[in-house]
Amino acid sequence: MSNMSNLSETLIDKIVESCFEVYYDLPKNGKPVEKEWTVLSCIIMYNKYMKTLEVASLGTGSKCIGATKMSPTGVILNDSHAEVFARRGFLLYLYHNIDRALKHEPSIFRNCDGHLKLYDGIEFIFYSSQLPCGDASIIRGGEEDYGDVLKPEKRKADDETCDIDVKKQKTDNGVHRTGAKCLPHCEQDPKDPEIVDQLLGQVRTKPGKGDKTLSVSCSDKIAKWIHLGIQGSLIDMLCEPIYIKYFIFGNGVPYSEQSLKRAFLNRAECSSLKLDIVPEFYQTSLVFPHVCSDENVRPAPGSIIWSRTNTHQFEVAVQGKKLGATKKNALLPRSSLCISKYKLYKKFLQILNKNEVLKKKICGEENIECIPYNKMKRKSTRYIAKWSKIKEKFFKTWTIKPDMWGFCVNMT
């Protein structure tokens, strides 16, 4: 994808308005009620030649589950932060367009002998109503573009809640902090209350009380997507890497382009790591109405996922499962979200089932219904090799999750 000129203020606000319009048009289920707040994130497709845009995916939320609640069958989603929901909804959007391209129907992809490439002029924009938790939210005194900080009242935290705003408060000397925690085996933030500066450039896990999560902060995940592509290991076997070209963040909240560039691009001296797309960072003049504030003091319990597919997929999530799932059925595939590991893997296998050339190229003579999720991901050798290099050179460390997702998918 080629570069385009900087986004104008008018276009930036138009992009954000399109995100708000999709959000307002969705049902009330999962949205904040009185005195509640949430985070809104969207991924937008922009055609720089046609000057057209469409919201590809939308997510809201601020919660994640603890390590003990992770599901080996891939039916419970570990991380329900808005940024993660928007990204996983974007994977549905990609699968939808991949399927259309392979059937020679209108798509963002062109079919090049079975390998898919984006049409020229297609670029992607990531919008979020606030800075992501983790390193990008650490703003030290004196950094530019510091916005007003709104201090919510104290509230009771539970083991599901990531206190992404409650713990990110401005101190008297203009420092803005994150509630995300350094990894246990790494250097820790100073415990001395007189030392307000947190460590910079650290991989962190999402904040919360009780059962600790293994999910890394959204700052770390976004940095990974910038270096590796947002498509993930499975889709990487079907098309070229997909990168975010522009990041837009909301107004009415703390903002620092310096912090964003540090967290996403400059954590280490990485002369050997060259980005395929160097992203640009902007702030809109628009404020998301459900942002955390003096009036909106409690995090909304639910999360929303929406994706622009042929069915305009919309679901509400609570504790990593589809809203309404009973305790009896909570671990069944039918109770899982459309963006769960199980459902996204099923989308991948459905693509292979429709294309014998791709299926043979990736799986050989294996029966795809007998290939576990974790084994299939290991077939993405280019992606794995690049990720290994990025972890070593840029992040230096990462969380280690158990290799527990050895589930297969029933295609009937």
Q: Outline where 200-296 has alpha helix (H).
A: 218-228, 232-235, 257-264
How far from chain centre, in Å, is Cα 141? 28
| pLDDT computed for residue 234 by the predictor | 98
Residue 261 lies in a domain: yes
Residue 373 lies in a domain: yes
| pLDDT computed for residue 167 by the predictor | 38
Active-site residue (options: 17, 54, 83, 269): 83
Quick check: 212 pLDDT over 80? Answer: no
pLDDT category, 114, cuts 50, 70, 90? confident
Say whether 83 is catalytic.
yes
Residue 2 lies in a domain: no
Maximum alpha-carbon separation in the chain = 64
Domain that holds residue 155: 9-395
| pLDDT computed for residue 168 by the predictor | 44
Quick check: 17 pLDDT over 90? Answer: yes
Enter the pTM of the model. 0.88
Residue 389 lies in a domain: yes
pLDDT tens-digit profile of 133-150? Answer: 988 888 876 555 444 333
Residue 400 lies in a domain: no
Quick check: 214 pLDDT over 80? Answer: no
| pLDDT computed for residue 151 by the predictor | 35
pLDDT tens-digit profile of 58-70? Answer: 999 998 887 778 8
Say how far apart CA 232 and CA 380 lie, in whole Å: 9
The tally of domains found in the chain comes to 1
| pLDDT computed for residue 98 by the predictor | 97
Mean pLDDT of 387-400: 85
Residue 385 lies in a domain: yes
Percentage of the chain surpassing pLDDT 70? 82
Closest CA to 244 of 284, 282, 278: 278
pLDDT category, 191, cuts 50, 70, 90? low
The neighbour count for residue 210, using CB atoms within 10 Å, is 12
Mean pLDDT of 112-125: 92
pLDDT tens-digit profile of 266-315? Answer: 876 655 678 999 999 999 999 999 998 888 889 999 999 999 998 878 99
Residue 165 lies in a domain: yes
Contact 350, 359 (CB under 8 A): no
Quick check: 161 pLDDT over 50? Answer: no
Residue 358 lies in a domain: yes
